[in-house]
Amino acid sequence: MKHSTKMSAKMSALIAGTAVTLAGLSAVGFVPARAGVRHTAAVGPKTTLTEMDWYTEPSQIRAIDSIFGSFEASHPRVKVSRYYVPGTSYLSKVLQEATAGDLPDYLMLDNPMVPDVAETGVLMPIRKLGNVNTTPFYKGPLSEVVYHKVLYGLPVGNNTIALFYNKKMLADAHITPPKTWNQLVTDAAKLTHGSVYGFGFSAASGSGNVSWQSEPFLWTDGGHLRDPESAGDKATLALFQRLVKTHGMPQAAATWTQTDVQDEFQEGRVAMVINGPWIEPELNTIKGLSYGIATIPVPKLGDTLRVPLGGETFVIPKTNTNSEKLAFSLLTKMLDNTQSAAKIGAAFGYVPSYAPAVAQVVKQDPYLKVFAKEVATARSRTKFLGSSYPKVSAIWGSAVEEVITGQMSVAEAAKTAESQVQAALGK
């Protein structure tokens, strides 16, 4: 059963900015898991509950199918029908279906998408469907599914970024992983020689690059994306400027994507980099590479590190009473549950947002230990900016690039970004 949704001005703007045609979706690989099945509907003796996500890795799909199968076993008259949409088209597809009143019963959203979609009014506040004990969840991940103080879902699990370092290079230079900004600058300069640089991170424009990778420095020093002329923002820009001027980091970092950073590290051209747990599988195949993972350096010892959270959430669209109740039961079984949360964490390489499951996952994958430590004090990327995060983070990213390349001084970059941010926020 479809439901009608009046298109708001906000949704109209989002559609205008991100819409693609269904033909375009087909061209980039829209693949329904079971074509033609939408919303809870009687299928013979069973009811079908539809779900949409962007997961493609075999381990991810096996974990989800296992949990869905367990749910079906405990609900013998229910069938969960999963279908997949590519990440490049995902938000457009969600907004199109929201406009058409044809969202699935159970929906995955990347955490920065939640404010955009919640603002359209198509999501169900999950506390209206039943009791939810949020105490076992880390505060940062849980905040990803809260919009205007309303809880719309639960977090799947999280990744974030940390400091990867080449053990041999650091040992040869008699260096241990830096813990403070000053140590980072000094150590990066010592590790630089010939064509090898001491440090690098992704400062290229685009989602997942410069803003995402610079936020731990910015936030830990008290800076905010919404206020580029604050002391913390300027100090962060000054740090990147120092790294370049002392030859610890190349100006080329302004063009590096996360993939480029990984390549530079595994090819031995950079001794220390910022990246995430998703690069571990490939690093582990590189013959002769011995690496370690440490927390990202902080301004001074004792400061609380604030890293950004990657990962997804599950929410429940407004459809009909039957589907909403079934989706709520699936949500709690999948995410408010130690066994299921641990299964997802292990399969996805995520730190579970559900804290009781963390120890089990870290035991299976010790590399996640550092990331688990960081997630405990991590921050949702949209916490202070909501749906304005993408445009404001892009402005900050440009300021970082201008400083790294030497096109602007710290003061100039901060002032320019400040005026652009205020305009973007309508101030």
Classify residue 221: in a domain, yes or no: yes
- Could you report the per-residue pLDDT of 392-417, keeping only the tens digit for each? 999 999 999 999 999 999 999 999 99
pLDDT at 29 over 90: no
Describe the crossing of helices 210-220 and 231-245 by its angle, rounded to 10 degrees.
Answer: 120
* 255 closest CA partner among 207, 204, 209, 208: 204
Give the range among 125-129, 171-175, 324-328, 349-353 with minimum mean pLDDT. 349-353
Q: What is the pLDDT of residues 160-173, one digit of tens each?
A: 999 999 999 999 99
- How many CB atoms lie under 10 A from the CB of residue 14? 22
Query: In the prediction, which pLDDT does 40 show?
Result: 53
Instruction: Tell me which of 26-35, 60-69, 71-80, 235-244 is least confident.
Output: 26-35
In this structure, are 264 and 403 located in the same domain?
Answer: yes
The CA distance from 65 to 79, in Å, is: 11
Residues 47 and 18 in one domain: yes
Beta carbons within 10 angstroms of residue 85's beta carbon:
22
Classify residue 20 as exposed, middle or buried by CB count within 10 Å of its CB (0-12, 13-18, 19+).
middle
Q: Are 272 and 199 in contact (CB under 8 A)?
A: yes
245 and 166 fall within a common domain = yes
Lowest mean pLDDT among 7-16, 180-189, 362-371: 7-16
Return the pLDDT at 323: 95
pLDDT at residue 126, rounded to an integer: 98
Q: Is 214:296 a contact under the CB 8 Å cutoff?
A: no
Q: Region 182-202: what's the mean pLDDT?
A: 97
Does residue 2 sit within a domain?
no
**333, 417: one domain:** no
pLDDT at 21 over 50: no
Asked if residue 254 and residue 362 are part of one domain, the reply reads no
- 317 and 277 in a single domain? The answer is no
pLDDT higher for 43 or 176? 176
Task: Give the mean model confidence (pLDDT) for residues 169-179.
Answer: 98
pLDDT tens readout for residues 235-252? 999 999 999 999 999 999
Ranking 167-171, 328-332, 384-388 by mean pLDDT, the lowest is: 384-388
**All residues at 6 or more sequence positions from 17 whose CB lies less than 8 Å from its CB, including other chains:** none
- 3-class secondary structure, 122: coil
> What residues form DSSP beta bridges with 273?
164, 200
User: 195 and 131, same structural domain?
Assistant: no
CB neighbours (10 Å) of residue 92?
Answer: 19
Asked if 92 and 154 sit in the same domain, the reply is yes
Q: Helices H, strands E: what count in the chain? A: 18, 12
Distance of alpha carbon 341 from alpha carbon 355, whole angstroms? 9
Give the DSSP per-residue string, 2-51. ----PPPHHHHHHHHHH---HHHHHHTT-B-SSTT--SSEEETTEEEEEE
Number of domains, the chain: 2
| Domain with 212 in it | 162-307+384-424
Rounded Cα distance, 409 and 413, in Å: 6
Q: Check: CB of residue 215 under 8 Å from CB of residue 307.
A: yes
Pair (72, 190) in one structural domain: no
Q: Identify the CA nearest to 73 among candidates 314, 329, 324.
A: 329
Rounded Cα distance between 262 and 277, Å, is 11
State the residue for tokens 């947002």.
Answer: 353
**pLDDT at residue 198 tops 60:** yes
- 45 pLDDT band, cuts 50/70/90, is low
Looking at the predicted structure, is the pLDDT value of residue 118 above 60? yes
Please check whether residue 220 is in contact with residue 298, taking contact to mean a CB–CB distance below 8 angstroms: yes
At residue 281, the pLDDT reads 86
Element (H, E) at 238: helix 231-245
- Whether 314 and 172 map to the same domain: the answer is no
pLDDT(12) > 80: no
Residues 107 and 172 grouped into a single domain? no
Model confidence band, residue 427 (pLDDT cutoffs 50, 70, 90): confident
Say yes or no: 47 and 73 in one domain: yes
pLDDT in the model for residue 276 = 93
pTM of the model: 0.81
Is 297 among the domain residues? yes
End-to-end CA distance of the chain: 43
The answer to whether 91 and 100 have CB atoms below 8 angstroms apart is no
| Phi, psi of 225, deg, nearest 5 | -60, -30
In a domain, 293, yes or no: yes
pLDDT 10s digits, 280-299:
889 999 999 999 999 999 99
For 259, residues 6+ apart whose C-beta sits below 8 A from its C-beta are none
SS3 168: helix
Predicted pLDDT at 292? 97
| Residue 32 pLDDT grade (very low, low, confident, very high; cuts 50, 70, 90) | very low
Q: What is the mean pLDDT of the chain?
A: 89
Note whether residue 251 is domain-resident.
Answer: yes
State mean pLDDT over 255-278.
Answer: 96
The answer to the question of residue 109 being in a domain is yes
CATH number at residue 77: 3.40.190.10
Measure the CA–CA gap between 54 and 311, rounded to whole angstroms.
12
State the average pLDDT over residues 50-79. Answer: 95
| CA–CA separation, 409 and 406 (whole Å) | 7
